[in-house]
Amino acid sequence: MNLGAKFDNSYARLPAQLFTPLAPTPVAAPKLIRFNGDLARELGITTSDDAQLAQIFAGNVAPDGAAPLAQAYGGHQFGNWNPGLGDGRALLLGEVIDSHGQRRDIALKGSGRTPYSRSGDGRAALGPVLREYLVSEAMHAMGVPTTRALAAVLTGEQVWRETALPGAVLTRVAASHIRVGTFQLAAARGDLAGLKALADHVIARHYPDATGPEGLLAAITARQAELIAQWMALGFIHGVMNTDNMAVSGETIDYGPCAFMDLFDPLTVLSSIDHGGRYAWRNQPDIAVWNLAQLATALIPLMPDRDAAVESFTNIINGFAEHYLLAWRRRFGAKIGLAEPTEADQALMSRLLGLMAQDGADFTNAFAALAGDKAQDQFTDRAAFADWRRDWQARVPDPALMARANPQVIPRTHLIEAAISAAIAGDLAPFHAMLEVVTDPFAPLTGARAPYARPPAEDERVLRTFCGT
Ligand code: AMP
Ligand code: MG
């Protein structure tokens, strides 16, 4: 079937050991839940017939020019090396050049078993598909580099996740799906040719100005520092920052047990599988460094001299701290309306965060309220807030900058869960309504938008999030 978009599948031309060519497993009764028309136009997709789109994005019909394949990768999961990961429930359909001249992956998630499925069924349940759709599109709307959601399709089949649930397929669009773990697997296999091809591919595709493994590592490190600072500034917790879930492009990838914080607590960890709090909000920059060190280790075989490589790579990764500090200061500076924050302003930001943590303020609403005249309502220690406010006002914050840096709404976990429950019961209206709101995050909270900014009541609070795979 002709989708309109022209495929050019560069990953499929890489050494064969990096992937397995494989078609999606057809499903019983594809039905389109949602199609992202704006993104489709960017990709040059011209098909607009719902039934055809459902067939293609369920994996039942291959679009002309696609060369579906499952990517091989390994990864450190919660610090433990696992060489046997890879696309277990996903397939790369192929790549297209978008209207900006950028190469983009189009991939299916939930498309059936692959050689990397291990004991999994290769399928996705409706809940995780809708969650990824909502959160990734909200992240994009907030200006965070991220994979995108192009389509969600019901399969007409059930999947078993402790109970029977409707099955679905998400179509994900990414700058690429190459992960730290993709490099790690090639290195662990001693596959120098694969490693070299991968590095050349990533340089050409994402970092054309980078020279050699050092340039590549430096560019990825800088991009990650920027990305994590953006997560932090939105109270976003990825939840599973395993090395297989860190894209070398610098896009946020793999929305599993992720969440935005409601009450501000730097130690917040929500994922049901993160027992030690390894991926708590506060730990994310350190974990990024840990992951980058694994990438550096994987790149060593590409360097002529091991000791010199270790020294050089160590310096590059040590550069994360400075880059991150400046990115953090710029992001949090914008949140309090300071375009050129100084080191002294950094103390002002930390003081505010300290107050927010002490008072258990709602992360999103406290920042969103700062520009208005009711900000003190977000704090219990009003005297301390008034002191802070006086010092802050002396710096003459720019309200327009704040309005662009502080979303009025984020996809709140309890509302995502409510939308998912309704969808499982057959009502997709709450999902569609929520998507409209969270993809316009900086608009004023008028009318039907207002309830989406309300923090969860005590009995609505979601204390644990699940991968749901
Ligand atoms: P994650 O950390 O959720 O991205 O997944 C880790 C690994 O498990 C990846 O290799 C996935 O492809 C694989 N996986 C997760 N869920 C399934 C499933 N239902 N069937 C097969 N493989 C899966
Ligand atoms: Mg993953």
pLDDT digits (tens, 9 = 90+) for 441-459: 999 999 999 999 999 998 8
Judgement on whether residues 162 and 199 belong to the same structural domain of the protein:
no
Question: Is the shortest distance between the CB of 85 and ligand 1 below 6 Å?
Answer: yes
CA-closest candidate to residue 197, choices 8, 19, 6: 19
Cβ(42) – ligand 1 distance below 6 Å = no
Ligand 2 midpoint to CA 273 (Å): 14
The domain in which residue 71 lies consists of 11-174
pLDDT in the model for residue 99 = 96
> Which H or E run includes 190?
none
Cα-based torsion angle of the residue sequence 84, 89, 93, 94 in order, rounded to the nearest 10 degrees: -40
Residue 426 within a domain = no
Ligand 1 close to Cβ of residue 240 (< 6 A): yes
Q: Per DSSP, what are the bridge partners of residue 152?
A: 34, 170
**Residues 165 and 210 occupy one common structural domain:** no
Q: In this structure, what are the phi and psi dihedrals at residue 81, rounded to the nearest 5 degrees? A: -70, 130
User: Between these two residues, 271 and 469, which has the higher pLDDT value?
Assistant: 271
Ligand 1 atom nearest residue 86's Cα: 10
pLDDT score recorded for residue 68: 98
Report if residue 448 sits inside a domain.
no
Residue 5 domain-assigned (yes or no): no
**Same-domain status, 141 and 203:** no
What pLDDT score was predicted for residue 468? 60
240 shares a domain with 134: no
- How many residues are present in the chain? 469
| CB neighbour list of residue 152: distance below 8 Å, 6 or more residues apart | 32, 33, 34, 129, 130, 133, 168, 169, 170, 171
Cβ atoms of 96 and 207 closer than 8 Å: no
The answer to whether residues 331 and 363 belong to one domain is yes
Residue 438 within any structural domain of the chain: no
77 CA closest ligand 1 atom index: 2
Residues 56 and 80 in one domain: yes
Phi and psi, residue 213, nearest 5°: -60, -35
In this structure, what token pair is assigned to residue 217?
């590592």
pLDDT at 156 (0 to 100):
98
- Which of 382, 406, 430 is the C-terminal boundary of a domain? 406
Confidence class of residue 464 from pLDDT cuts 50, 70 and 90? Answer: confident
Looking at the structure, tell me whether residues 245 and 327 fall in a common domain.
yes
Asked if the structure places residue 433 within a domain, the reply is no
446 inside domain: no
- In ligand 1, which atom is closest to the CA atom of 114? 21
Q: Which ligand is nearest to the CA of 116?
A: 1
The residue with greater pLDDT, 34 or 268, is 34
Residue 327 shares a structural domain with residue 260: yes
Residue 157 belongs to some domain of the structure = yes
Residue 177 CB contacts under 8 Å (≥ 6 apart), including other chains: 71, 87, 90, 92, 105, 107, 247, 253
Q: Which residues are designated catalytic?
A: 244
Q: Does 1 map to a domain? A: no
Q: What is the total count of domains within the chain?
A: 2
Task: For ligand 1, say whether the CB of 245 is within 6 Å of any of its atoms.
Answer: yes
Residue labelled with tokens 């011209």: 46
Among all bound ligands, the one having the nearest atom to the CA of 185 is 1
- Please state, in angstroms and rounded to a whole number, the distance separating the CA atoms of residues 376 and 380: 8
Give the residue whose CA is nearest to atom 17 of ligand 1. Answer: 120
H/E element, 13: none
Q: Are residues 202 and 284 in the same domain?
A: yes
In a shared domain, residues 155 and 290: no
Q: Are residues 151 and 232 in the same domain?
A: no
Distance 338 CA to ligand 2 centre (A): 37
Q: Are 167 and 272 within one domain?
A: no
Is the distance from CB of 55 to CB of 61 less than 8 angstroms? yes
